[in-house]
Chain A
Amino acid sequence: MTGGRTRARYQLAIEALVSTTPRGRTSGFGLMPEHQRICDLCVEVKSLAEIAALMRMPLGVARVMVGDMAEAGLIAVHQSNTTEGKPDLALLERVLIGLRNL
């Protein structure tokens, strides 16, 4: 499934959001079954962790697959706005407001 690779080319965060691109929605036939299922799953946005859990595959395997599928243009990966790898103040404020409004 991963061609023997266990390290993804990108270090995708476990919470990175993944959505199926128009190309991924219409590719259909010819895709590996796992890729097809991930395309189906991510029509509604999912995190890498959710993909691994719902596909019942180890996180490392899901990470490699998602990296490959992003390169093939089947899915888009949304990484968050961060400053030196940490959420910035504006993002923290949004989180705070969101939590208060729950």
Chain B
Amino acid sequence: MDFATSSPPERTAGPTTSVKIVVAGGFGVGKTTFVGAVSEINPLTTEAVMTAASDGIDDLSKVPDKTTTTVAMDFGRVSLDRELILYLFGTPGQNRFWFMWDDLTRGAIGAVVLVDTRRLADCFAAIDYFEDAGLPYIVALNCFDGHLSHNVEDVREALSIPGDVPIVTCDARSRESTKLTLIRLVEHAMSRFAAMR
């Protein structure tokens, strides 16, 4: 039988460093598919609860019908080396939950904005958010059926994406393709980092 007092002092074994990448885009664009394609675990869902209250009301106990909204987001995990884990967080489908986005993007390497070229407008909000936040991001056109409805430069123009932001094509179902997309984002984040020196 083992007694704790007889064990040698132990250091934490296993990973001690984590990083995260945000996967954003409109509802149904394939964020969870993208996360699941490269994750070593089945994507998990975590929830945050927001109490909807009007501005200027501080004491919620005085609000008779306080309503709560639950915001769910899916995430996955990729072990990169013995001590380093990458987490991939899909943004909540509904763009109005900005409070969650702040939590998601704080300290993130950057973001992949997944775009369905048949519904370009769906990703406006995400691109706006990352531009404002100064977070490195790339745009990934998800080719559901192997072809694009628009070419890359049309998309750049339509969405007013700055020239230094990479636009790539990907297949969110493919591990290799999502991996390459993530590599492109990290390279972009590194070049942004270097440029800011």
From known contacts A14-B89, A17-B15, A45-B14, infer whether A96 and B47 are also in contact, taking CB-CB under 8 Å: no
How many A-B pairs have beta carbons closer than 8 Å: the answer is 129
Which of B104-112, B143-151, B155-163 lies at the binding interface?
B104-112
Known: A22-B10, A53-B44. A93 touches B190 (CB 8 A): yes
Bound CA span A36–B152, Å: 52
Cα distance A98–B17 when bound, in Å?
13
- B48 close to A58 (CB less than 8 A): yes
Size bin of chain A's contact surface: 35 or more
- Judge whether B44 and A15 touch: CB under 8 Å: no
CA A45 to CA B82, docked complex, whole Å? 12
Give the size of the chain B interface in residues (CB under 8 angstroms): 44
**Stretch with Cβ within 8 A of A (4 or more), from B26-34, B123-131, B178-186:** B178-186
Q: A53, B46: Cβ atoms under 8 Å?
A: yes
Query: A92 near B: Cβ within 8 Å?
Result: yes
Given known A-B contacts A13-B106, A59-B47, A98 and B4 have beta carbons under 8 A apart: no
Across the A-B interface, give the 7 residue pairs with the lowest CB-CB distance, nearest first.
A98-B80, A53-B44, A26-B4, A15-B20, A78-B16, A53-B46, A15-B18
Chain A residues packing against B (C-beta within 8 Å): 13-17, 19, 22, 25-26, 44-45, 47, 49-50, 52-54, 58-60, 76, 78, 80-82, 85-87, 89, 91-102
